[in-house]
Amino acid sequence: MVGIGASAGGLEALQRFFDAVPGDSDLAYVVVQHLSPVHKSLMVDLLAKHTEMEVVQATDGVPVQRNTVYLLPPGKHLTIEDGRLRLTAKDAGSGMSLPIDIFLTALARDQGSLAIGLILSGTGSDGTRGLMAIKSAGGFTAVQQPETAQFDGMPRSALATGQIDATLPPDELPARLIDHACKALARARPMPARQRRDDGDDPLAQIIAVIRSVTGVDFSHYKLATLLRRIERRMQGAGLESMEEYAALLRRNSAEAVNLYKEMLIGVTRFFRDDAAFRVLADRVIPSLLANRSPTDMVRVWVCGCASGEEAYSLAILFAEAQERLGRSFDVKIFATDIDQDSIEVASLGEYPRAIAEDVSQERLARFFTARGDSYVVSRDIRRMVVFAAHNIMRDPPFTKIDLLSCRNLLIYMDQPLQRKVLSLFQYALRQGGFLFLGTSETLGDLQGDFHTVDSRNKLFQSLRAGSFRLSRLLVPTVSAPLARHGDDTGSHAMEEGAAIDEAMAALMKAYVPPCLLVNEQMTIMHVFGDASSLLKVPPGEATLNVLKLLPSSVAMVTGTALNRAFRSGEEFALSNIPVKDREGVAALSLRVQPYVARKTGRRFALVVLDRANLRPLAVPDSDFDLNADAAERIRGLEQELLSRGENLQATIEELETANEELQATNEELLASNEELQSTNEELQSVNEELYSVNAEYQAKVEELTEITNDLDNLLRSTEIGTVFLDGDFVIRRFTPAAAGFINIIPRDIGRSIAHLSTNIDYPNFLGDIRRVFDGHEAMERHVRVNDGRWVLTRILPYLTDKNQVGGVVVTFVDVTDTKLAEERLQNVLDSLPEHIAVTDRTGRIVMVNAAWQGFAQRNGAPAMERCGVGSNYLDVCLIPEAPEKDGIGRAVHDGLRRILDGEAADFTIEYPCHSPDEQRWFLMHATRLNDHDGGIVVSHINITNRRLMELQLDGAGKADGGRK
């Protein structure tokens, strides 16, 4: 599923994007824009012209279908749950709205690694946080190339996160997204188990080794399936097919190793994630922590794997609300740690986008946040509770005396041996009665017996006893075992071998090596060799590795003096017979400090060896420990250091005074700039008002045009005349519903050439006539038959613009079936009559004849009669010279018909001979004016030959009788 965010300039980008999307991409597209809540969106119609897919406005609860484009309705927020779109009303009083972030974040939660997020043209930063959520969920992120966007604010904001997989022009993005979707579906199928590689050239091991060397983080105990998915995503982005090639790329390009490291860090989090779990914290856990607690007794909370800080601040808010309910204040300190320094920096800012309003109630937003631009900033009181620090739980010592430890959805990415180690660290870190808060898919494993289950559903546990993990186990990192070869058993054998080597090394150190501390110039213990647990003691309060705070006070002072002397002189320094109390009583301790400089970094360190007896003689005999002499030496060193610091302080004061003067000058410049900005702001306000007025005018014009368009649509629809408007390339611009009865056309065909559509009419030269009308600028009409038996009058007319130029073609279809049937019925009636009948129009042009008329003309063969067909002018036919016996008859008929047409007479009758070579014939012609608007004539010729012959016979008989008489 593709979630698309667009704002200013987004229409053009969307059109270019969907022009390039095939109709059968098998993806669903959800478009979210910044829309005015009071104006109807025209996006459905605008985008439908650019895609073969169905374009619909989203409705609440609709299941998302493939090959469909869903659009955000105005005045709504859009989310998705279980593959169904959900609509909620937009809060008009909530200020800046971030609908793109809201939907993309929901898409990440619902679709996970199958989610695809795309940001197109727009201003601001809406969509950036949503893309980060999709990236964290394992999905795919893309943005429009900023250079191709009308407004590049949104694309550049997203690119600044460094979490974007593809940056392309809009018309090149579809192919990239579809290609990713195909590969993502393939990755979603169960992966075959990787086979062991015993040749030492496992590319996966090489990849992990490169990441460790570049970032210092070891992913060898990362879950194999997740590890492979992340690597495959980076391989796909680099266009590589094999892990060997990718391992080689990492060795050449450390930046790619950093990118892969970032890919491994899954920072999915949000405020009050899992409401039910946080309600249990608020109702049961936090009240029990604060009950009967002294206000001076610090409440210590550790959020391990805090990502961008939302969970840490959520806990701080719960503690603030609990204190308010109790009416008491407590010293609450929340240690929020993460392996990623970038995440820590983001969390420290305490600034989050407006999209957090989906997770934080309006009441909490008002009390614990401050609105700033398009962000919310955590209040100062909440921020003071939280201490952020970079921390590697696999390497660094844990915090101690913790009352509440939250580590949610971190263990699920570790293999079982590492999970056991981390859970042991957590058990050590917790006070007796402290609470452990895990993710919904995480368990305690072997440590189940050390905890009481508070809420099994929400994974809340309470420690039954104080941690007993050995201090040496905390301070001595596990000896690095050979990198586990991932295979069918996910490296379990390698882990067992590594553990055995680890235990053997620890045993050797304990048996033969005196306790030895590796210390830097800041007096911080970097490493512990041997078992120093009898000498080192963790003090209460904030966790520390300062050697002077961990050693007994009698040893700490001497050690500090020895370290200072060794670092200053660069020479070994040793003392003996230092009294110290340990678990076995009072003992004499030997101290040896050996300074050295690291070759690669040039940093200075010192090895501090603590032993009850000298293990080897010195070139210079060790001096006995003399507290007074060493104290005097220590005092002299401190005095010299104090003098040096005093001089440094004076120099610093002078520098600060100079800097203060420069800042004052800068402040004056800023004041002047501020006045200029205020003036500019007033000008911008004026321009904004002008733009608003112009916009109002345009809006009124749009409404007027919309009203005119509606009138035309209703007019065309009410006439039931099929009409199709074509542009100069014969592409369909619009059509009326009635046109679908004659051309196979649907709304999605707008924007297609009419040549691509089939018709239901018997009109072979339809496209040719359209071209002739467009080229010749003259209208054309045809009576054609429809496939279902109807008749239609097809008119093709040139489309004239306001400049009287031909901008296209208009094709109309008028159903004339009833008229055609009436004409056929009339024709049948006329054909059934024996008289020769013709009908003319008001000019005398013959428009209809019956079968008797046509038959007589064919049999007669006379030139005049041959010209008496439909289309001939009967008045002209009457004036054609005929046989001598007909002289004067044609003129008489012409004059009689003319009088009828001119309205001077209602009818006209004449008898005339029409002899053929074979027989004598007489006809009676009768003409009558038609009583219609056309004013034509009905002409009938009746054969009266028999009557005329009978009359002649009677006349002849009469004359014969008269002669006899």
Query: Which strand ranges, in their side-by-side order, compose the sheet holding 732-735?
Result: 732-735, 722-727, 806-815, 791-800, 780-785
Rounded CA separation 148/17 (Å):
12
- The 10 Å CB-count burial string (b at 16+, else e) for 587-604 is eebbbbbebeeeeeeeee
Rounded CA separation 337/308 (Å):
10
Beta-strand (E) ranges in 97-157?
Answer: 116-119, 140-144
Instruction: Please name which of 872, 777, 761 lies closest in space to residue 817, comparing C-alpha atoms.
Output: 761
Q: Are 763 and 770 within 8 A, CB to CB?
A: no
Q: Output the six-digit token pair for 671.
A: 């004041």
Burial of 827 from C-beta contacts in 10 A (0-12 / 13-18 / 19+):
middle
Q: Can you give the three-state secondary structure of 238-276, one letter per residue?
A: HCCCCHHHHHHHHHHCHHHHHHHHHHHCCCCCCCCCCHH
What is the DSSP track for 344-403? HHHHHHTEEEGGGGGTS-HHHHHHHEEEETTEEEE-HHHHHHEEEEE--TTTSPPP-SEE
Q: Are 923 and 911 within 8 A, CB to CB?
A: yes
151: phi then psi, degrees, rounded to nearest 5: -130, 120
Kindly report each contact of residues 355-361 with a partner whose C-beta sits within 8 Å and lies 24 or more positions away, as own/partner: 355/98, 355/101, 355/102, 355/105, 355/129, 355/130, 356/270, 356/271, 356/310, 357/94, 358/79, 358/102, 358/105, 358/106, 359/270, 359/271, 359/272, 359/273, 360/271, 360/272
User: Would you report the helix, strand and coil content of the chain in percent, each value rounded to 5?
Assistant: 45, 25, 30
- Any idea which residues carry the catalytic annotation? 7, 34, 126
Q: Which amino acid is at 668?
A: E
**Residue 606: strand pairing partners:** 519, 595
Q: Are 208 and 218 within 8 A, CB to CB?
A: yes
Beta-strand (E) ranges in 558-704?
Answer: 573-582, 585-597, 604-611, 623-624
DSSP H or E segment with residue 928: strand 922-929
**Residue 578: strand pairing partners:** 589
Instruction: Please name which of 408, 397, 432 lies closest in space to residue 304, comparing C-alpha atoms.
Output: 408
Rounded CA separation 200/188 (Å):
29
Rounded CA separation 477/474 (Å):
7
Q: Output the six-digit token pair for 158.
A: 């997203």
Residues 6+ apart with CB under 8 A from 753: 729, 730, 731, 732
Kindly report each contact of residues 319-322 with a partner whose C-beta sits within 8 Å and lies 24 or more positions away, as own/partner: 319/286, 319/385, 320/368, 320/381, 320/382, 320/385, 321/282, 322/282, 322/286, 322/287, 322/290
Rounded CA separation 547/605 (Å):
13
Instruction: Please name which of 123, 88, 84, 74 lies closest in space to residue 1, comparing C-alpha atoms.
Output: 84
DSSP H or E segment with residue 184: helix 173-188
302: phi then psi, degrees, rounded to nearest 5: -125, 120
